[in-house]
Structure 1
Amino acid sequence: MIPVQGFSDQSVAVLGLGRSGLAAAQALRAGGARAIVWDDSPRGREAAELEGFEVRDLTRPGAFDGIAALIVSPGIAHLYPAPNPVIAAAWDAGVPVDNDIGLFFRSFATDDWDGFDTQPRVIAITGSNGKSTTSALLHHILAENGRPTQLAGNIGRGVLDIEPAHDGEVVVLELSSYQTELARHLTPDVAVLTNISPDHLDRHAGLGGYFAAKRRLFSEGGPDRAVIGVDEDEGRYLANQLVADVSDDRLIRVSVTRKLADGWTVCAKKGFLTENRRGRQVASIDLRAIAGLPGAHNHQNACCAYAAARTLGLGPRGIEAAMRSYPGLPHRSQVVAERDGVTYVNDSKATNVDAAAKALQAFGRIRWICGGLQKEGGLAGLLPHLGSVAKAYVIGREAEDFARQLSGVTASICTTMDHAVAEAMAEAEPGDVVLLAPACASFDQYDSFAARGDHFAELVTDALH
């Protein structure tokens, strides 16, 4: 655990008692603060009481008397589409609002570091798609190359739940826009942006607000090094803002759509990763045979993880060897089974149009299980990428509307995952890929994308055995 610094003998309120909220309360107490907690859920409040925390209804008048700060769980909206009433009350009382990410960055460095031979580093990774795979892959690369490392944030453990740093350790953080938008302290040594596409637009009042939340990772503290995917305008803009000119080695630009001629670049084209520096190619990796990284979208993830590893001085050959042993993440282009020439792939994490489009581009003839709770913007971004779809099997409460938008594609309105899997398996032929890439959130039928992916994998496995 990382004891929170700066609040000794002060009362700090915590709103939301999920994984990050309860860990924040524990870390505050470990640092000498009095954590006062609240959650709308009786179950959350009961769990906190069992941990010995004071539960206070923060919605009542005067609740913020004597409170030094309010720490908010990432799922709680603080500005758009409307401020949470507790957060609004904190504003009115003049109480600073922060989250566990902000607490982490103010508390991670300690006096113990003075005795280390090599200072610990923090690499923070954000983006619309691929940040989980990029984070897990980088963590794997570091571990395989003998570097002490921890993985935390939006993946793995909560940021305050990890162990205090060891000599030379690298902490890899996956950070969502929900986490970056509110943190008062954002000071990673290396910051990575994989890509930007429309997502969580209601939470951020549009694409501009969403990008602004991501951009804070690069602007609040100023990382020593930045890795930026420049295949979208937002990435190109951000890269341009960070350095004086293209030759500045504090920036590595990443692309999987074109060759970047100048500066320090990492690109992937036709399955080959190349690193160029000052006009010369210094390394190349054939990504096509790496089973844990299928498709162009994973090649972008590989480029970002490779670039981040290079900022730490790791050699290309050691990075390549680690990539070849990377097992992949559940629910991200995860091969669940192969039988009679048919491959079954779980990409339940493809919860938006851009992620699903990338999944559709990664395979040949596809029997596509899709649908769920549609996000703002519709499905227009998918239409140019449906050429490999032999048939769509649409699930979710909005299945009929989803199917109507798939012009030119044969679609079966299945509604449930059981029906979709059974029909797709019955119709699949050798060479087909039965792909779950929903392009939608899961909450109309499942608690999470992971629960949806697990159900798909369970149905496939049961049917094949």
Structure 2
Amino acid sequence: MIPVSGFEGQSVAILGLGRSGLSAARALEAGGATPVCWDDNASARERAEAEGFEVRDLARAGAFEGIAWLVVSPGIPHLYPTPNKVVAAAWEAGVPVDNDIGLFFRSFGSGEWDMYDQPPRVVAVTGSNGKSTTSALIHHVLSEAGKSVQLAGNIGRGVLDIDPPKDGGVVVLELSSYQTDLARALTPDIAVFTNLSPDHLDRHAGMGGYFAAKRRLFAEGGPDRAIIGVDEDEGRYMVNQLTHGAADDRVIRISAAGKLSGPGWNVFARKGFLSEYRKGRQAGSIDLRQIAGLPGAHNHQNACAAYAACRALGLAPRMIEDAFHTFAGLPHRSQRVGEKDGVSFVNDSKATNVDAALKALMAFDNIRWICGGLEKEGGLDALRPALDRVAKAYVIGREAAQFALQLDGCAGEVCTTMAEAVARASAEAEAGDTVLLAPAAASFDQYDSFEKRGDDFIAEVRKVLG
């Protein structure tokens, strides 16, 4: 646990008692503060009371009397589409609003560090797609290299649940826009931006607000090294904002769209090969085509980001390459479930938006595509470049018929349920086909999470595999 500093003897309110909320309460108490907790869910309040925390309705009049700080869980809107009533009450009471990420960064340092040969470092990864795989890949490479490393944030453990880092230790954080948007302290040593595509637009009032939330990690975080995906205009803009000239190698540009040139530090993937160039000279290369845990161009972008982060931490190219070959990938992200009679089954339930689904589709040929769910803003037109790879779409979800109508030019069948979709796709698949779950939609019309949706796909596929 990382005890939260700066609130000794003070009361700190916590709104939302999920994983991050209860973790924050424990860490605040460990640092000498008195947590005051609230959640609209009665069972969540009961869990907090069972741990001995005070529970108080923070929406009632006068609830913020004597409160020094408010910590808000990431799922609770603090501004758009409308501020939560408790957040608005904190504003009126003049109480600063923060989240567990802000508490982590203000409390991460320790007096013990004076005795360390190498102070611990934080690598923070954000972006629309690929941040989980990139974070996990960095963690895996560092672990294989014998480093003391912990994975936390939007993946793995809560940020305040990790152990105090050891001499030379590294903490790898995956950070969503919900987390970077509100944190009052953001001070990573290395910050990674993978890419940007429309997502969570209601929480950020459009693309501008969404990008601004991601950009805070760099503009306000002031990392020593920034690793920026430049395959979108937003990444190119951010590179220009952060550099002091073309040769400034404090910024590492990464791309999976083509070769990068110039005197700076560049890492790119082209035709399945990762290349590193620094000061105009090649410094490393990896053949990514035979790395089973990183299929497709989207994973090659993740590989570039992870490679750049590990190089910035001082690892040699060969050490990184060896670790890439032992990376098994993450569940629900281009996860190969099995094969039967020449037909492969791949679970990419994490492809909850159109951009992620497009990248998943571009990684395979002859696809039996299971898609559909709670559609996000923007429609499905961006998927058209990949539809020639799709032999047939099998659409699930409560609005499956409406979803299917948007797949103009693509053979489709409304299946509604996962069981029917897997059964139909596997029955019609031929040797060389891939049955791919890449929904291009959220899961909440039928499942509690994309993980539950992926688990259902796996369960149905295992029936087929026998």
Task: Place the TM-score, normalised by the shorter chain, in its bin.
Answer: over 0.9
Structure 2 stretches of 5 or more lacking a match?
Answer: none
How far apart, in 2, do the equivalents of 1:208 and 1:397 lie? 31
For residues 232-243 of structure 1, the aligned pairs below 5 Å read 232-243=232-243
Separation in structure 2 between the aligned mates of residue 303 and residue 392 of structure 1, nearest angstrom: 31
Counterparts in 2 of 1:279-428, with a 5 A limit? Answer: 279-428=280-429
Map of 1:39-78 to 2, 5 A cutoff? Answer: 39-78=39-78
Q: Deviations over 1:217-262 (max 9, x none)?
A: 0011300000000000000000110011121110000011121111
* 1:281 aligned counterpart, secondary structure: strand
Amino acid at match of 1:274: S
Q: Distance in 2 between matches of 1:422 and 1:109?
A: 53
SS at match of 2:125: strand
SS of equivalent residue, structure 1 residue 387: helix
The alignment partner of 2:388 has SS state of: coil
| 2:448 aligned with 1:447 | yes
Q: Which moved more, 1:398-407 or 1:96-105?
A: 398-407
State the TM-score, normalizing by the size of structure 2: 0.99
CA distance in 1, matches of 2:159, 2:21: 11
| Alpha-carbon distance between aligned partners in 2 of 1:316 and 1:202, rounded to the nearest angstrom | 41
How far apart are the structure 2 equivalents of 1:332 and 1:42? Answer: 34
Aligned pair 1:146/2:153, yes or no?
A: no
Is the partner of 1:409 in helix, strand or coil? coil
Match of 2:248 in 1: 248
CA offsets, 1:358-401, max 9 Å, x none? 00000010000000000011111111211100000000011111
Q: Tell me how far apart the structure 1 counterparts of residues 356 and 2 of structure 2 sit (CA, whole Å).
A: 34
Distance (Å, rounded) in 2 between the aligned partners of 1:166 and 1:149: 9
Match of 2:116 in 1: 116
Amino acid at match of 1:435: L
Paired residues for 1:17-96 under 5 Å: 17-96=17-96
Distance 1:117 1:283 in 2: 28
Q: Cα RMSD (Å) of the superposition?
A: 0.5
Query: What code does the residue aligned with 2:316 have?
Result: G
Corresponding residue SS for 1:335: strand
Which secondary structure does the structure 2 equivalent of 1:355 belong to? Answer: helix
For the 8 Å contact 2:193–2:228, the answer to whether it is kept is: yes
| Residue of structure 2 equivalent to 1:432 | 433
The residue type paired with residue 289 of structure 2 is R
The alignment partner of 1:172 has SS state of strand
User: Structure 1: which amino acid aligns with 2:339?
Assistant: E
The Cα shift of 1:115 comes to: 0.6
Give the match for residue 160 of structure 1: 160
Within a 5 Å distance, the mapping from 1:143-222 to structure 2 comes to 143-222=143-222
Secondary structure at the counterpart of residue 74 of structure 2: coil
Match of 2:441, as an amino acid? C
One-letter amino acid of the structure 2 residue matched with residue 153 of structure 1: G
Three-state SS of the structure 1 residue aligned to 2:222 is: coil
Alignment-mate amino acid for residue 60 of structure 1: R
Question: Cα distance, 1:56 vs. partner?
Answer: 0.2
Deviation, structure 1 residue 463? 2.2
Aligned equivalents of 1:357 and 1:61: distance in 2?
49
| Deviation readout 1:325-367 (Å, 9 max, x if unpaired) | 0010000000001111000000000000000000000001000
Question: What is the identity, as a one-letter code, of the residue corresponding to 1:40?
Answer: D
Question: Helix, strand or coil for the counterpart of 1:247?
Answer: coil
CA distance in 2, matches of 1:69, 1:427: 58
Q: Counterpart of 1:393 in 2: which secondary structure?
A: strand
Aligned equivalents of 2:165 and 2:97: distance in 1?
A: 26
Q: How many matched pairs?
A: 465
In 2: Cα distance, 1:65 partner to 1:429 partner:
67
Q: The residue matched to 1:240 in structure 2 has which SS?
A: helix
Q: Residues 392-429 of structure 1, C-alpha deviation per residue, up to 9 Å, x if partnerless?
A: 00000111111100011010000110110000010010
Amino acid at match of 1:314: L
Partners of 1:112 and 1:375 in 2: CA distance: 47
**Deviation, structure 1 residue 462:** 2.0
Q: Which runs of 4+ in 1 moved over 2 A?
A: none
| 2:12 counterpart letter in structure 1 | V
Overall identity of the aligned pairs, in %: 72
Q: In the alignment, is the contact (CA less than 8 A) between 2:229 and 2:235 conserved in 1? A: yes
Query: How far apart, in 2, do the equivalents of 1:304 and 1:248 lie?
Result: 18
| Residues 104-154 of structure 1, C-alpha deviations (whole Å, 9 max, x = no match) | 000010101001111100000000000000000000000000111000000
- Match in the other structure for 2:231: 231
Q: Structure 1 residue 281: deviation in Å?
A: 0.7
Are the aligned partners of 2:339 and 2:465 in contact in 1 as well (CA < 8 Å)? no
Instruction: Give the distance between the partners of 1:338 and 1:282, measured in 2 at CA.
Output: 38
Structure 1 residues without counterparts, runs of 5 or longer: none
TM-score normalised to structure 1 length: 1.00
One-letter amino acid of the counterpart of residue 204, structure 2 = H
Q: Distance in 2 between matches of 1:269 and 1:382?
A: 22
Letter in 2 for 1:450: E
* In structure 1, distance between residues paired with 2:386 and 2:205: 28
CA shift, 1:280, in A, is 0.6
Q: Distance in 1 between matches of 2:338 and 2:260?
A: 38
Q: Which amino acid aligns with 2:236?
A: R
Q: Distance in 1 between matches of 2:85 and 2:230?
A: 38
Q: Take 1:292 and 1:381, find their aligned partners in 2: how far apart are those partners?
A: 26
In structure 1, give the amino acid aligned to 2:37: V
Q: Distance in 1 between matches of 2:271 and 2:364?
A: 14
Mapped pair 1:97 → 2:81:
no
Partner of 2:257: 257
